[in-house]
Structure formats: structure tokens, C-alpha cells
Amino acid sequence: MRSLLIDNVAQSVACSVVASRLDYCNALLSGAPAATFDKLQRAQNNLARVVSHSRLRTDTRPLLRSLHWLPVRQQVTYKLAVLTHKVRTTATPTYLSELVQTHAPPRALCSSDAPLLVTPHQCTRMLNFSVNFVNT
């Protein structure tokens, strides 16, 4: 099917069908294991090879650059940065603005004017409950 499409149409189809699936909810991948990113990156690399008529062993970094596509891990970082910027600069729902809080140091520091953010503490430790069974 690729041989029937001109390059611009092939890139549009690739972006609308496959790349949009790779980009969907990828902000949730922040902190995901490297194996997850590797699988998604392989899919994006294969897509870039198909769009550009390249061979299987072709290095994909120049292909991604020529197609103006970010690698998957950088897409996740970029999407989180854009989301954070929108939350800080626009009137967003309160549930999002509560998650992004500006750091206020307790005393004057050289970095006091820097727009640093607070990373909220997440409790992930499980409590151990001991249950005593009485033999009857």
C-alpha cells in the first residue's frame, strides 16, 4: 500500500493512524520502565522506515529528525512540560492546579526567584496487618 502513496500523504496517514496511537495518553508513561519505552520506540522506528522507504537496518535517528518526530521518551517529557505550563498559566480545573504547586523555600535563597515546583509525596508503602486466629 505504501508504494501507492506519495510521501506527503504517507506521512499524513502515518501520523493520523499510528503516531496518534503512540501519542495517546503518553504522559502516563512518565516513570515507566525502559522496556516499555523500547517497545514503543521500535514501533515508531518501524513507522519511520515505512514512511521514508528505508531498509530494515537503517538508522532511525536521522529519519525521525527529517520527519520532525520526537523519540517516544522525549515526547513524554515534552507532553508533561506542556501540560505543566498550561496548568500554571491558564485557568485549569482545580484538581490539576492542586497537583502543580510552586516551591516556596523557608528562607531566602539564590534560587528563590526560580519557578521551581514541589513534587507531592505519594505514600506507596503497604501496611502489615497481623491477624491472630484463636483455635476453638
Kindly report the average pLDDT of the chain as a whole number. Answer: 80
- pTM equals 0.68
Per-residue pLDDT reduced to its tens digit, 32-46:
899 999 999 999 998
Going by C-beta distance under 8 Å and a sequence separation of 6 or more, which residues neighbour residue 50?
A: 2, 10, 14
The total number of structural domains in the chain stands at 1
Tell me whether residue 12 is in a domain.
yes
Instruction: Quote the CA–CA distance of 133 and 66 in Å, as a whole number.
Output: 67
Q: Is residue 46 part of a domain?
A: yes
Domain that holds residue 73: 2-100
